[in-house]
Copies of this chain bind each other. A is one copy, B any other.
């Protein structure tokens, strides 16, 4: 039994999914769909056709799970409900405030058409969410923390690029290691935004630009930088391309908690990721989630799901006996 996968959207994330599908023993890539000119796209592998997004309907019976690799701002709110009427789907919708609305829209579409749709998959939201839930359930008396980085925040990099006089920029989110270690040491500190992360920016300025003005515009930018200690380095375009072209990321979900009638025992639970490539790792998680969606759909478990709804067994290509003997 081979799970037939479709990819909708072929940017960094779509390429990450393409690679992950090539590594899965139980999957094949059936087609990649794009809203650009299909002829302008060359896949990393050469095993599947690239097709116009307009042809989706014709693939209804030829794809088991469609992995949606669009952006959360404008693509997925429209794309996921629409695709969920034709296919079982997975997306990585990460606009937190709009998740309830997105969940509702996808749930209506998937339920009516008897499809299974898993939204907000990846590592955060995704694996980090699962670990926040589990750690909170295991240690109800405690405090939870999410630290991100060291890694590239694309949203913050984009915000810097919009400042006049900026040619290009890369922003790293850096956890304050001293405070991460306090939580690892089973303390439950109260941490401000500033005490959790710092921000480090590598900026290419136009020739003759006012560097102090750019630095000020960055460090005082509301929501993005004003609540953080931010460092700005001006670099050449060559240096940015040479040293800052990768997309590493990661972080830790931590909970410290207390047990015992005299509150005498402390525990810490940490789930930690260190990723050389954010899009390839996210693509790997989405691919596992596509397997889970396939298994849930086979059981008739339709409607909109999150990672909270998936039994771990559904993520793995192993048989139940193998899992029990090798992993339990």
Known contacts A281-B267, A307-B312, A308-B313, A323 near B276 by CB under 8 Å: no
A136 at the binding interface (Cβ < 8 Å): yes
For A261, list chain B residues within 8 Å (CB). 19, 44-45
Q: Which of B103, B134, B317 contacts A312 (CB 8 A)?
A: B134
For A306, list chain B residues within 8 Å (CB). 324, 328
Q: Which A1-56 residues have C-beta < 8 A from chain B?
A: 16, 19-20, 23-25, 44-45
Residue contact A284 to B271, C-beta cutoff 8 Å? no
Residue contact A259 to B284, C-beta cutoff 8 Å? yes
Q: Which A277-328 residues have C-beta < 8 A from chain B?
A: 277, 280-281, 283-285, 288, 291, 306-313, 315-318, 320-321, 323-325, 327-328
A316–B134 CA distance with the chains assembled, in angstroms: 7
Counting contact residues on chain A (CB < 8 A from B), the size range is 35 or more
Copies of this protein in the complex: 2
A271–B131 CA distance with the chains assembled, in angstroms: 9
Residue contact B325 to A260, C-beta cutoff 8 Å? no
For A23, list chain B residues within 8 Å (CB). 140-141, 259
A139–B275 CA distance with the chains assembled, in angstroms: 11
Q: Which of B99, B133, B259, B273 contacts A20 (CB 8 A)?
A: B259
1/0 contact string of A120-163 vs chain B (CB within 8 Å): 10000101011111101111110000000000000000000000
Residue contact B277 to A134, C-beta cutoff 8 Å? no
Q: Which of B16, B315, B328 contacts A120 (CB 8 A)?
A: B328
Residue contact B274 to A186, C-beta cutoff 8 Å? yes
Q: Which of B100, B136, B140 contacts A24 (CB 8 A)?
A: B140
A184 at the binding interface (Cβ < 8 Å): yes
> From residue A225, how far is it (CB to closest CB) to chain B in Å?
26
Residue contact B327 to A133, C-beta cutoff 8 Å? yes
A169 at the binding interface (Cβ < 8 Å): no
For A60, list chain B residues within 8 Å (CB). none
Q: Which of B129, B133, B317 contacts A315 (CB 8 A)?
A: B133
A272 at the binding interface (Cβ < 8 Å): yes
For A269, list chain B residues within 8 Å (CB). 271-273
A sample of 17 cross-chain residue pairs with beta-carbon separation below 8 angstroms, ordered by A number, consists of A20-B259, A99-B324, A99-B325, A129-B327, A133-B313, A133-B316, A138-B285, A138-B288, A267-B275, A267-B281, A268-B272, A269-B272, A271-B272, A307-B328, A308-B311, A308-B312, A311-B311
Q: Which residues of A contact B (CB under 8 A)?
A: 16, 19-20, 23-25, 44-45, 96, 99-100, 103, 120, 125, 127, 129-134, 136-141, 184, 186, 259-261, 264-277, 280-281, 283-285, 288, 291, 306-313, 315-318, 320-321, 323-325, 327-328
